[in-house]
Structure 1
């Protein structure tokens, strides 16, 4: 099992460590500098650098452990897949001293993970029983205090810029582009004409859906595609949708005014964001050139608001946000709770596309997913039975190895005692020097042979212990899934725990991706008769 373990080095750079986009990040904190530092350490300490896999979080704060790379790394640790973790310094791993201490003092030792922090001169394998843990705890606390202090200072500085009318919100919105002067935006004439037309159409009483359709028929480039051509790396949507049009109509920035604070973080280092009601939002007027007048903005919004219908809070649907169109990648919707079919609404804005064929009955979908979950549970149940047999065999083998190790240690102790007896006989004159040296060499040779045998036996025992531990972890994880065997009803909580997404294709087939994976396989596609019947519906 130890052969399956991997070695990793972790890199992190947050916005608090330097503004990457402005090119002012200090070299000591950069991802490149961290990587070079770690590779130099690996070379100097005779590690095989090519055996280490890199995991990086670029642009994430160290006050929270909720980072994509960190989540992946900790998940590998919990599955006993990690042997070594190396970081440049402890602040790259975490700035929260309680969380950092928890992993270093409890989690990593429990899973046999060696943790190395280069600049802190910390190596858990060499720590032993000394008091370096206290020094590390103090460094963790200082890192957290420093991170919160610098975050507050940066936030205060950015807030002042916002209140003075500077544009410090990242990418310029569709219809604008960054100005030559720092923290300013100017009108992008080509995109601004589209924005102006959208507001004029809305003010004339044209619905959002009709506006999206007009834009698609005219083959107008969507905001995301347009921004990608300017910014480069940007998630794109090729079709105008209800949301893309509504977001433009709801954005007050086109009037030349700026709303600096639409939400705020509950506390430094928290992921919780609280929205500020629109009537309480502060407006900074005339911060940049306007695309439309304020009168046109309010007129368009009045028309939109008059079209809204009050909705009763529906019962939570287990498939909400999980169904994905196999053509465009958008989420499927059902419009009304009483509707029987889930559909892709993209075809409303782009007539003639294959999205029109993406349609699936909820009752049939429920039947397929229930059956898929039950099949998966049965496969996991069979796997657990096999793992129990392997675990029982491993435990028996481990007991044999323990007995062998005890026997070898006793034999080594006996030889050492015999060597001491011969030495005492030599000192007392009962044994000549020549005979003493001969007996000593003979005993030492036997002792070396026994020590080699003991080393091999201990290594095998360690491997068996790791196999037993890994098997127990896998069985525990699988048992949680098996609890859902023979279920008869889907709930939002159950679906959120088990299913990542369900792709619905135009031919009526579906593809289920699970949140968990095992030796059976990560993804099981289902192409049943039920799915094929949907072609004719």
Structure 2
């Protein structure tokens, strides 16, 4: 390359400031770096200078806009010299910095100068530079550890750790840590939850909002002046992932949820999700947009989420129907256009392998009629004979629940006993191995088998203990159920919202034939109360007589 072309090359003056120290706009530190670099360039006759600034970027990452531009120009042979105030401005990742100094800059013909550290690659690289890189990286790690401790302390105090509130909220003008409801956005959130309860999935909800040209969160925030990046390339484009993210946010119940995610390391800033067991939740820290019952119902619906059929149709019962024999879900199949194969449910085990179970086929229309009939009967019982209905269900619950809890306790005790037995078995085979009665190979096989079994049992214990401890009195759930029913008139048709509000699951038995007629039993489990046994005529008569007696008693007191 000619001397003339060398003179045309750029002298890159590079400034970088970490987010930990940044202020609004171009900070004082950037200004200070700029003055030092420009003065050094002038005093040492560096020509064709150009300033590159990365304000608010950590030294552990090299994906920085200004630095990337320098490297691009360097690859094109347009950079002669790169000057920084001090060596740490280049970066705090010793491996990357070492590669740049010893390989990349040399390959691109770039002279590197760090003013304050007296580094100039024109004079060679001192043996002290790698040590300095170690120190710079250690400083970044130490700073990261301090920030994490401050972050942890803040999160444990109940303050929200998110920089910006989720869609539907905004920061209070009086307290940046307090969230208040952003009404226009909150209405969209409420509608999304309502559509989910009605039986619509994220894809269907997203398509509907897009078709109605409802602003996406980013579009809405831009419209109200909130900084949130660039507007989307396609206006009003809601994607299923946006909907799914909104539906799982417990913050909409009024809770602060901290430590949902973290970074891999001080070098790798990629976000990774934490397990729910590591979350810290503070309840009722801000106004709720969605009530807790609705939120729990939506999570239950989402847990049983299902794919659409090829026709795009989704049943209001999808995710709720189970096979009595194998316990697996029953798949919804929209059927064919002809009446010989109407929409129906079929055992998923049978669909995958006919040898494992039977079809347990039940038509969607038949299921709809049976569930609607059951709901009408249960709702009528409650509206007309509330006290008698509650008494009957509690009596039934007491008997059934006691059997279930007894079985659970036996299962728990059996697991604990087996864990203790395995400890003794491992000790025994260890002793047999030591004295030569058991080969090393056999010992390893048995030991691994026992340890695997013990590990699985120990993992089940907390869940079993939690279930026994958390089992509540059914009368509480029953009263909630009764209140819900009393707020609804007699159902004339089934909707997705009605089904998911009241139905927990539906268990379908295999069809049986008697005298040439097909019979099939289904068990309907209602939310919070399980199978409901309707009142028989004797119960209704007893309830009516009790009601008349109470009325007569009141009349006597009035007289």
With the length of structure 1 as denominator, give the TM-score of the two structures: 0.50
Asked which structure has the greater CA Rg, the reply is: 2
Q: Which residue in the other structure is 1:198 paired with?
A: 192
Deviation at 1:39, TM superposition (A): 2.3
Q: 2: distance between equivalents of 1:233 and 1:224?
A: 7
Deviation at 1:149, TM superposition (A): 0.7
Deviation at 1:248, TM superposition (A): 1.2
Q: Which residue in the other structure is 2:16 paired with?
A: 12
| Structure 1 unpaired stretches of 5+ | 312-537
Deviation at 1:281, TM superposition (A): 3.6
Q: Which of 206, 210, 234 does residue 212 from structure 1 map onto?
A: 206
Q: 1: distance between equivalents of 2:304 and 2:217?
A: 26
Q: 1: distance between equivalents of 2:240 and 2:270?
A: 27
Q: Which residue in the other structure is 2:142 paired with?
A: 149
Q: 2: distance between equivalents of 1:222 and 1:106?
A: 46
Q: Which residue in the other structure is 2:365 paired with?
A: none
Q: Which residue in the other structure is 1:61 paired with?
A: 58
SS of 1:307's partner is: coil
Q: Which residue in the other structure is 2:230 paired with?
A: 235
SS of 2:304's partner is: helix
SS of 1:186's partner is: strand
Structure 1 residues 391-448: Cα deviation after superposition (integer angstroms, max 9, x where no partner)? xxxxxxxxxxxxxxxxxxxxxxxxxxxxxxxxxxxxxxxxxxxxxxxxxxxxxxxxxx
Deviation at 1:72, TM superposition (A): 4.2
Q: Aligned pair in 2 of structure 1 residues 52, 308: CA closer, same or farther (>3 Å)? A: farther
> Does the 8 A contact of 1:61 with 1:269 survive in 2?
no
Q: Which of 304, 311, 317 does residue 302 from structure 2 map onto?
A: 304
Q: Which of 178, 187, 196 does residue 184 from structure 1 map onto?
A: 178
Runs of 4 or more above 4 Å deviation: none
Alignment of 1:55-134 (within 5 A): 55-78=52-75, 80-125=77-122, 127=123, 133-134=126-127
Please state if 1:167 is matched with 2:164.
no
With the length of structure 2 as denominator, give the TM-score of the two structures: 0.49
Q: Which residue in the other structure is 1:34 paired with?
A: 33
Alignment of 1:359-508 (within 5 A): none
Q: 2: distance between equivalents of 1:64 and 1:56?
A: 15
Q: 2: distance between equivalents of 1:109 and 1:216?
A: 53
Q: 2: distance between equivalents of 1:269 and 1:198?
A: 38
Structure 1 residues 77-105: Cα deviation after superposition (integer angstroms, max 9, x where no partner)? 35544211111211110112343233224
Q: 2: distance between equivalents of 1:266 and 1:233?
A: 24
State the Cα RMSD in Å: 2.9
Corresponding residue pairs, total:
300
SS of 1:201's partner is: helix
Structure 1 residues 281-335: Cα deviation after superposition (integer angstroms, max 9, x where no partner)? 4433233222112211121232334332499xxxxxxxxxxxxxxxxxxxxxxxx
Q: 1: distance between equivalents of 2:179 and 2:33?
A: 35
> Does the 8 A contact of 1:167 with 1:185 survive in 2?
no
Q: Aligned pair in 2 of structure 1 residues 71, 154: CA closer, same or farther (>3 Å)? A: same
Q: Which residue in the other structure is 1:246 paired with?
A: 244
Q: Which residue in the other structure is 1:359 paired with?
A: none
Q: 1: distance between equivalents of 2:164 and 2:15?
A: 26
Q: Which residue in the other structure is 1:47 paired with?
A: 46
Alignment of 1:273-288 (within 5 A): 273-278=271-276, 281-288=279-286
> Does the 8 A contact of 1:65 with 1:94 survive in 2?
yes
Q: Which of 218, 225, 231 does residue 219 from structure 2 map onto?
A: 225
Alignment of 1:262-281 (within 5 A): 262-278=260-276, 281=279
Q: 1: distance between equivalents of 2:218 and 2:44?
A: 48
Q: 1: distance between equivalents of 2:270 and 2:164?
A: 23
Q: 1: distance between equivalents of 2:14 and 2:185?
A: 41
Q: 1: distance between equivalents of 2:184 and 2:32?
A: 41
Q: Aligned pair in 2 of structure 1 residues 202, 93: CA closer, same or farther (>3 Å)? A: same
| Structure 2 unpaired stretches of 5+ | 310-559
Which has the bigger relative contact order, CA under 8 A and spacing at least 6? Answer: 1
Structure 1 residues 429-476: Cα deviation after superposition (integer angstroms, max 9, x where no partner)? xxxxxxxxxxxxxxxxxxxxxxxxxxxxxxxxxxxxxxxxxxxxxxxx
Q: 2: distance between equivalents of 1:105 and 1:209?
A: 51
Q: Aligned pair in 2 of structure 1 residues 154, 52: CA closer, same or farther (>3 Å)? A: same
Q: Aligned pair in 2 of structure 1 residues 296, 85: CA closer, same or farther (>3 Å)? A: same
